[in-house]
Structure 1
């Protein structure tokens, strides 16, 4: 890894690219896909258990009270992104097809990621407590805001219904392990202080599992072969430009609003991401009868680009942390 760093090549990014390559050749299918899904959920739950065990209750309470930070993240997720999505309408039909634009606008309406936003914030030595509250709040509100924005800004088929189990999943998979970690913190905080590697391993391992699971799903569905290479390249460029614009705006807002370094990291990571885990189930309901595979393709592509980009940013901030 030290040899690679001399050439500005990060080993974690190489790991993500390697996982993408493996998923392209050996995607998880059938029962294997179910096993990968279960392992991913276990890794994410373990991640939040460790966060809860490592985080002092005073910092968690401070993160909950930091309303300016959370409002900033929500504004980026549900105002800035939709405006960029609406502006991208000018790219139809020369760069994006109608279905691809529908998918691009949809990705701009889904909530922020939870697991990877917090994992990258942790890697970059940012405000983990603030990231947990901001990302979780984005997902909880997104269960209601995303369908409302879809109905307001897009033409959907049928009634947009949201399964209440989405809220239950968020609570059971994220919040319950976190609070269990808080409860067992007095017994394990000494061990965690001596051995920091387990948390780092779970951070990176859970992200790699999410990448493999998401890319495998795309390969199994065959959506990467449904368009010409030029359309895919054009879509990738559009997703990269949107991500670059949002990262630039969130970085500017973090400084303009006077946030400290740890909070600026939260604004960038939580405000610039979109959740594949939340977006895919919503798309199957909101676009029933439509080509869902093509509609979710922009979200899947954006998800891969954001993981690679934010992995590089997190490693860079980790190296420059005071």
Structure 2
């Protein structure tokens, strides 16, 4: 429970930083030459971010988990088929009572790749298949560099959203995101050890680059009059619609895992990797895909969904962790012999008098029989 609480505190701190960045951009947006410098610094920070992502990517972990192809297909299907289908349906349903550009942002978030670090962290915490999570999340993130611009061009045109992707976006994304990523991965044999040993030091690059892009994007949006178009009611609507998207995706993934008979460990991977969207990829991609005046509004739903998914996944990971610990405790055999009972009692600082040992042994035998009955009933219900 303490780990979940610490995770919540970490999430809250980053949320506060995001809010502070939006407030700063609203009060002091970069203008003129300063705006150009802010954009350049943000672009360099994002290039460094993806360079480090490439350097962190372990080929051994990918090879270890890549054989589970059925799970990876399901995860990618959730990320790039289920999410967009729900996004398009919501855009059509909400048309006319939500700002078209906000709906574009909502649709855009459904077209993004999955997260990497948090998906793996939550899977590990929930006692899931970590190797498969590394492979699925990394593959989703890498494919997203190509698939997200393609899906934006196709689905946003079909949905008739208010945002327009720029024609040079794919080249910009390849230059700013893909090349640094590949360079970092190719240099992993030389710098991978340093990156792995200094993850805590490198984390500010991850979050700092996002904050820089958010400042640049919201500054341009403020100059374009974002707060005359977006009100508190719009933000609340985005929270509700984001919750609907997350709830539907998680519900479908749970049902699919049961239908195809995934193991508990693989079902956890599908739940976490298949229901998350990457803020780290979404913010810089939006800067490359859309006009600067639209980026601030486009990334607002992504920021809201990002925080919501972390809160929900943290709670679920904690629940699965406690469930796994209970299952291990229940599955552990009770001591039956006098020596085993004495050893267990000593480990717990309990003294069992010799005169009481026969009674303790008999009682434990009765409890073991009752546990066997309960385990049999659980197995029958599971079938």
TM-score of the superposed pair, with normalisation by structure 1: 0.73
Give the alignment of 1:1-322 within 5 angstroms.
Answer: 5=5, 10-27=8-25, 29=30, 30=35, 31-49=37-55, 51-52=56-57, 55=58, 57-88=59-90, 89-94=92-97, 96-108=98-110, 110-113=111-114, 117-124=115-122, 125=124, 126=130, 127-154=133-160, 161=167, 162-181=169-188, 183-184=189-190, 188=193, 192=196, 195=197, 198-203=198-203, 206-207=206-207, 209-211=209-211, 213-214=213-214, 216-222=216-222, 223-254=226-257, 256-257=259-260, 258=262, 261=265, 264-265=268-269, 268-273=272-277, 275-284=282-291, 292=294, 297=297, 299-312=298-311, 315=314, 317=317, 320=321
Asked if structure 2 preserves the Cα contact closer than 8 Å seen for 1:23 and 1:216, the reply is: no
Provide the rounded CA distance (Å) in 2 between the counterparts of 1:71 and 1:207.
Answer: 30
Contact 2:105–2:301 (CA under 8 A) maintained in structure 1: no
Deviations 1:26-67 (A, max 9, x none): 337322453244234323422431x23xx3x43322444443
Q: Distance in 1 between matches of 2:162 and 2:96?
A: 20
User: Which protein has greater RCO, CA pairs closer than 8 Å, 6+ apart?
Assistant: 1
Q: 1:157 and 1:15 mapped to 2: Cα distance?
A: 31
Distance 2:147 2:50 in 1: 20
CA deviations over 1:159-194 (Å, ceiling 9, x no partner): 97453342344432223312321x237x838x95xx
Q: Is the 8 A contact 2:24 2:215 kept in 1?
A: no
Contact 2:42 2:213 in 1 (8 A): yes
Q: How far, CA to CA, are the matches of 1:39 and 1:184 in structure 2?
A: 21
Alignment: residue pair count: 296
SS at match of 1:112: coil
**Structure 1 residue 259 displacement after superposition:** 5.0
In the aligned structure 2, how far is the partner of 1:24 from the partner of 1:112?
24
> 2:358 maps to which residue?
none
Alpha-carbon deviation of 1:229? 2.5
Deviates more, 1:77-86 or 1:26-35: 26-35
Over 3 Å counting, the alpha-carbon distance change for 1:301 and 1:203 in structure 2 is same
Quick check: 2:257–2:267 contact (8 Å CA) kept in 1? yes
Q: SS of the residue aligned with 2:306?
A: helix
Checking the alignment, whether the CA contact within 8 Å between 1:45 and 1:174 is kept in structure 2 is yes
- 2 CA distance for matches of 1:160 and 1:24? 24
Question: In structure 2, how many angstroms separate the alpha carbons of the residues matched to 1:26 and 1:259?
Answer: 47
> 8 Å contact 1:130–1:263 — kept in the other structure?
no
- 1:227 aligns to what SS in structure 2? coil
2:163 & 2:14 partners in 1: Cα distance? 36
The CA RMSD over aligned residues, in Å, is 3.9
SS in 2 for 1:272: coil
Question: Structure 2 length normalisation: TM-score?
Answer: 0.63
In 1, distance between residues paired with 2:86 and 2:45?
Answer: 35
Aligned to 1:288: none
Q: Structure 1: which 5+ residue stretches go unaligned? A: 286-290
**How much has 1:99 moved relative to structure 2?**
4.1
CA distance in 2, matches of 1:164, 1:172: 11
Structure 1 distance, partners of 2:68, 2:39, is 39
Which one has a bigger Cα radius of gyration? 2
